[in-house]
Amino acid sequence: MKQLLLLLLRYWSIIIGRVHFQKIVFLLIKNYSFKTNYEFKPYRFGPYCQAIQEDIQELVKHGYIHEEAENNNRYYQITKYGEQYLLEKSISKLDEQVIQELHFLFGHFSSSQLVSYVYSHYPEYTIYSEVKGKFYKPQNSLSDFTPADALLKEKMVHSPEFIEWVKEETEASCKRLGISSEPKTMETNDFQIGELYFSLLKLTFKEEIIVKAQEIVNSLPSDSFKEVNNINKTIITILESIEDILVILQEGALLGIYLELSNCVRNNLGKLREKLVLYEVDISSNAVSQIEVFVKNVISFLEDTDRLFPST
């Protein structure tokens, strides 16, 4: 198991503090079911394994790890002898990939952030902790967030002020675009949507966009409440606008309203991309890829609806 400690140091470059080192190994074992001989028990600062500390000291003694004490902290770094040790050992590709993922998710965490994460996700290891009051924060449940598919079951109630505002915006849009404010229904000669084509649009919305939106919500880390909530709100706004697009296409298509809604969707896609860049370090690579697929699906949906309006 000593090579595991060296491999972690290779990716972290430097680990500050015994507690930090212990928590990284703990998360590797618990989050990824990584097989080791290390057994953790609840202790003064959460989960602790004496065997890890003994192995670290042995590696320091033989020159594979450099340990330095400064300001009541201990700094650990792999030495050139430790690097050579790893080169001589056979390390599986899978083990390296798991540690890479661990570093991607937690490499930027400070010691206090790491302890807080461990305490929130594994409270059973905090029973003897001397700092539980400072670091323990109950884990947010996905029930705190609005599931994307719940939008299909909700009916929005608009105030008279909102309806008047929509009317004014519609008239202004029509005037700006030089079109009639009279709605064109599916039955008129001016505007017709084939039932099959419209069914395909609804199917795309429900089976691809909604499903992908739900997958994003499920893949976001529930401990990062602010980041998750901001992303989730933007996705919900996009879904609401798309649902409204389907309604106006079916009940009375109006180009001005459609343009406003499609522009709203495109603007929020831009905001979603901005949030993705802003929070990328706080969410998993799986969530990032799910968001990218969601964006592509929404853009494809808009391109399909644009074809219904030659003027766009």
Note the pLDDT tens digit of each residue in 32-62. Answer: 888 899 999 999 989 999 999 999 999 999 9
Least confident among 4-8, 51-55, 150-154: 150-154
More confident residue, 189 or 35: 35
Residues 166, 237: one domain?
Answer: yes
**Residue 127 placed within a domain:** yes
> Is 50 exceeded by the pLDDT of residue 152?
no
Mean per-residue pLDDT for 114-119?
89
Residues 292, 192: one domain?
Answer: yes
> Is 60 exceeded by the pLDDT of residue 148?
no
In which band, very low, low, confident or very high, does the pLDDT at 225 lie, cut at 50, 70 and 90? low
Domain count, the chain: 2
End of a domain among 135, 170, 196?
Answer: 135
Residues 267, 158: one domain?
Answer: yes
> Is 70 exceeded by the pLDDT of residue 183?
no
Distance CA 261, CA 270 (A): 14
pLDDT at 200: 63
Taking CA atoms, 46 is separated from 4, 18, 130, 136, in Å, by 21, 12, 8, 10
Residues 148, 206: one domain?
Answer: yes
Residues 81, 24: one domain?
Answer: yes
End of a domain among 118, 135, 152?
Answer: 135
Residues 126, 275: one domain?
Answer: no
Mean per-residue pLDDT for 226-254?
75
**Residue 311 placed within a domain:** no
For residue 78, the surrounding DSSP H or E stretch is strand 73-78
In which band, very low, low, confident or very high, does the pLDDT at 263 lie, cut at 50, 70 and 90? confident
> In the beta sheet, which residues pair with residue 43?
46
Q: pLDDT (tens digit, 9 = 90+) per residue, 120-129? A: 889 999 999 9
Residues 78, 155: one domain?
Answer: no
Distance CA 120, CA 148 (A): 26
Q: Which residues of 84-119 are buried (b: 16+ CB within 10 A; e: fewer)?
A: ebeeeeeeeeebeebbebbbebbeebebeebbbbbb
Give percent above pLDDT 90 in the chain.
21
Task: Locate 38 and state its tokens.
Answer: 């290390």
> Is 80 exceeded by the pLDDT of residue 119?
yes
**Residue 157 placed within a domain:** yes
More confident residue, 16 or 221: 16
pLDDT at 130: 87
Residues 172, 99: one domain?
Answer: no
CB-based contacts of 81-90 (< 8 A; 24+ apart in sequence): 82/6, 82/9, 82/10, 83/10, 85/3, 85/6, 86/3, 86/6, 86/7, 86/10, 89/3
> Is 80 exceeded by the pLDDT of residue 311?
no
Taking CA atoms, 307 is separated from 237, 263, 302, in Å, by 23, 15, 9
End of a domain among 73, 100, 135?
Answer: 135
Mean per-residue pLDDT for 269-281?
78
Task: Locate 154 and state its tokens.
Answer: 């909700």
* DSSP conformational letter for 184: B
pLDDT at 75: 92
Distance CA 148, CA 163 (A): 25
Which residue shows structure tokens 């540690």?
99
For 17, other C-beta atoms within 10 Å of its C-beta total 17
> Is 80 exceeded by the pLDDT of residue 219?
no
Q: How far apart are the first and last CA of the chain?
A: 63
For 6, other C-beta atoms within 10 Å of its C-beta total 21
More confident residue, 271 or 308: 271
**Residue 185 placed within a domain:** yes
**Residue 207 placed within a domain:** yes
Residues 196, 298: one domain?
Answer: yes
> In the beta sheet, which residues pair with residue 253?
184
In which band, very low, low, confident or very high, does the pLDDT at 253 lie, cut at 50, 70 and 90? low
Domain boundaries, position 55: 2-135
In which band, very low, low, confident or very high, does the pLDDT at 155 lie, cut at 50, 70 and 90? very low
Residues 198, 288: one domain?
Answer: yes
pTM given for the model: 0.47
Q: Name which of 199, 176, 149, 221 is nearest 304 in CA terms.
A: 199
Q: What are phi and psi of 69, to 5 degrees?
A: -100, 130
Residue 163 and residue 267 in contact, taking contact as beta carbons nearer than 8 Å:
no
Distance CA 240, CA 91 (A): 49
Distance CA 206, CA 201 (A): 9
**Residue 239 placed within a domain:** yes
pLDDT at 189: 37
> Is 70 exceeded by the pLDDT of residue 184?
no
Residues 190, 288: one domain?
Answer: yes
**Residue 312 placed within a domain:** no
- Its sign, for the CA torsion 185, 190, 196, 201, is negative
Least confident among 62-76, 105-119, 187-201: 187-201
pLDDT at 4: 92
More confident residue, 293 or 165: 293
Residues 204, 97: one domain?
Answer: no
Mean pLDDT for the chain overall = 76
